[in-house]
Amino acid sequence: MPTLILTPEQLRGAGILNSIELPSGGGGGNDPDAQAFIDAAVITDSTQQSAINTLVLDLKAANIWTKMKAVYPFVGGTATTHKWNLIDPQDLDAAFRLTFSGGWTHSSDGALPNGLNSYMHTNIYMPINLSKTNCSFGVYLNSPYISGVRYHFGYSESSSLTNSSVLYVASSSQKNGWILSFNTLTSKTGLNANTHQGFWGISRLSTSSFTMINSDGSVLINNNNDVSTSTVVPIILAARGDSSISPQLFDQMRHSFDFVSEGLTQSELTDLRTAVINFQTTLGRAV
């Protein structure tokens, strides 16, 4: 006897599937948060979709997803796709989507600033959206250092850099990071144009706990007490901003990942670094 095969529409017409929802497709089995970002940014490339999904799963497995305020994975190759916050992919300032200013070159490798007037505004403000003594910032850079003092990210309450959180190129062989004051200055020396690239992160867990993880995975720790004030300042990427002057000291290195979060432990920074390197490797843009 031949097998009778009915379509879902015929089954519903017979009253068999009236109460059953069939899969709608489009999700591809992705994590819901990954899929929300993919849909919002209209990421159609399957490799990029897979990389985003794995990144989300890795952040959740490391128990740091809920600590993240903003994650900018820079996929899709355009300003329109690069602006989205993976944690909350809504086209709103309140969701911390990026606002690009100045000249940028967007590509599948990330977002390259022109070093003259380009920066990214995260729409995150200290200390409104994040505590100055419980915060972390980081970047993955995948183009060579060129010249001059340049800021990869940061805010400062004054031009003197007191009460600030920044990571910047100090010279051709040195990168500096600190949170809150000069007293917490931490430096990685012996660099060159190539080793300035990769993942960098800084974190603060209290008034006396500061960590910086370097592109080679080594960790620098300072434990100095200081006190933060309450001036409201924006967090800027690819430059340094403060409460009284426009962004300055613009970056020249390409950003292929940035994050802003609550304070991360040394172990959490290491796990995040691993997840980000895997993400960049999948996309073929690791250094």
In a structure prediction context, what are the per-residue pLDDT tens digits for the chain, which is 287 residues long?
Answer: 444 444 444 444 444 434 333 333 344 599 999 999 999 999 999 999 999 999 999 999 999 999 999 999 999 999 999 999 999 999 999 999 999 999 999 999 999 999 999 999 999 998 899 988 899 999 999 999 999 999 999 887 766 666 778 899 999 999 999 877 666 678 999 999 999 999 999 999 887 788 999 999 999 988 776 666 678 889 999 998 877 668 889 999 999 999 999 999 999 999 999 999 999 999 999 99
Bridge partner list, 222: 210
The answer to whether 242 and 156 have CB atoms below 8 angstroms apart is: yes
User: How confident is the model at residue 281, as a pLDDT?
Assistant: 98
CA distance 117 to 8: 57
Collapsed DSSP state (helix, strand, coil) of residue 97: coil
Domains assigned to the chain: 8-282 (2.60.120.200)
Instruction: Give the torsion through C-alpha atoms of 171, 173, 178, 181, to 10 deg.
Output: -50
User: How far is the C-alpha of 78 from the C-alpha of 97, rounded, in Å?
Assistant: 14
Q: Can you give the pTM of this predicted structure?
A: 0.88
